[in-house]
Amino acid sequence: MDFSYDVVNLDVGRPDVADTPHASELSDQATMPETREKGTNAPIIPSLNETPILIAVVGPTATGKSRLGISLAERFGGEVISCDSTTVYRGFDIGTDKVALAARLGIPHHLIDVVDPREVYSAARYAVEAAAVVRTITARGRLPVLVGGTGLYYRALTQGLFPGPGRDAGLRERLRRLGCRHGVERLHRMVRRVDPESADRIHARDEKRLIRALEVYYLTGWPLTRHFEETRSPLKGYVIVGIALRQSSEVTAAKVARRAAAQFDEGLLDEIRGLRASGIPDSAPPFSGMVYRQALAFLNGVGDETSMRDEIVRANRRYARRQLIWFRKEPNLHWIQVDDGPAYAFRAAAQIVHGHVNPQPARVTP
């Protein structure tokens, strides 16, 4: 498979990161064609030959997706749809880096805080709910802007998910016992033999997803990757303008270290204690996510605080690498190198959007 992709390299100047403006100021940094009706403040929603458009801002963790998505929504009269498997859960705020209300600049955000932490939320459910939100936003004459880094959710929405075989409790239990006897890594090696692409995107200790990948293969004879290739998007008729962000590993390391420190300063451990006191069990799905998993283990007596913090940073860096691998395989993404800060990223992204739109009102039936 060809993993080559274009990286936007625009001659727009390279501001120092420390000098970049707040998100609300970014729109003033780029000189773009006018997207508002003359004499009014009403945005003209872009369309391409009157075909509805979805803007997507994706990529690895800590690349500034949320800030860029808000800035693009502000500039083009849009609303943000989260594409994140953890921010859907209510009460899990600090460890998921949910954007604070004040930082949203009045831009409506969707699919955040919509699921009880005790529920299992799937990519298939996300695709249905996100597609409905996208069409509703378009019907209101606004521009939907998808923002997030959960690759499976992005693929489910833009390409679709196959229905898949039902769960086989007996097969799952046999695979689970195999993992208990020989380690979860044994399951990962099994997946790699039958579905190398799925093995690349699934963490070696993600037992739940490894078992599902093997279950699908043994029940259908096809790997997950092949099933994905046979699916159709729930957003048929939309033009998807995908913008993917990436940065150097050194910048990622520095950012995730600062973010982890800030999460503890903001009260991550107290948030977890409060969730448990409210009746949320340790087995709740969001507690298995990055940051919460390590912090919960520490609160249960595993390791010391220094080792926990170090592991959170390492986990973030590993996750960033997996996300980069995933999104490199997604088709038709416009890549932006964002080491030079949010103002540069906004200029590049705004030019990409303008290169795909015609400032005429979109007419679609929801």
Q: pLDDT digit string (tens) for 224-258?
A: 888 877 777 899 899 999 999 999 999 999 999 99
Q: What is the 3-state secondary structure (H, E, C) of 304-324?
A: CHHHHHHHHHHHHHHHHHHHH
Nearest CA to 156 out of 126, 201, 115 is that of 126
Domain boundary assignment for the chain: 7-161+231-257+315-354, 169-227
Nearest CA to 96 out of 158, 34, 161, 150 is that of 150
pLDDT digits (tens, 9 = 90+) for 40-97: 344 545 454 478 999 999 999 999 999 999 999 999 999 999 999 999 999 999 999 9
d(CA 220, CA 269): 43
CATH topology of domain 169-227: Histone, subunit A (1.10.20)
Annotate 7-33 with DSSP letters as a single string.
EE--SS----GGGPPPHHHHGGGS---
Cα–Cα–Cα angle for 17, 105, 48, rounded to 5 degrees:
90
- CA torsion angle for 256, 335, 319, 144 (degrees, to 10)? 90
Average predicted confidence (pLDDT) for the chain: 86
Least confident of 162-166, 205-209, 254-258, 314-318: 162-166
Query: H or E element: which one contains 252?
Result: helix 249-265
Instruction: Supply 213's token pair.
Output: 């990948």
- Spatial strand order of the sheet with 7-8 comes to 7-8, 333-337, 239-246, 53-58, 143-147, 78-82, 109-110
d(CA 138, CA 362): 8
Per the CB < 8 A criterion, the answer to whether 95 and 263 are in contact is yes
Report which of residues 201 and 18 the model is more confident about.
Answer: 201
Whole-number percent of the chain with pLDDT over 70:
84
Per the CB < 8 A criterion, the answer to whether 61 and 323 are in contact is yes
pLDDT digits (tens, 9 = 90+) for 312-321: 999 999 999 9
Nearest CA to 116 out of 290, 279, 328 is that of 279
Q: What is the mean pLDDT of residues 351-360?
A: 73
Class of domain 7-161+231-257+315-354: alpha beta
Supply the pTM of this predicted model: 0.74
What is the CB-side half-sphere exposure of residue 349 using CA atoms within 13 A?
33
d(CA 319, CA 61): 8
d(CA 345, CA 46): 20
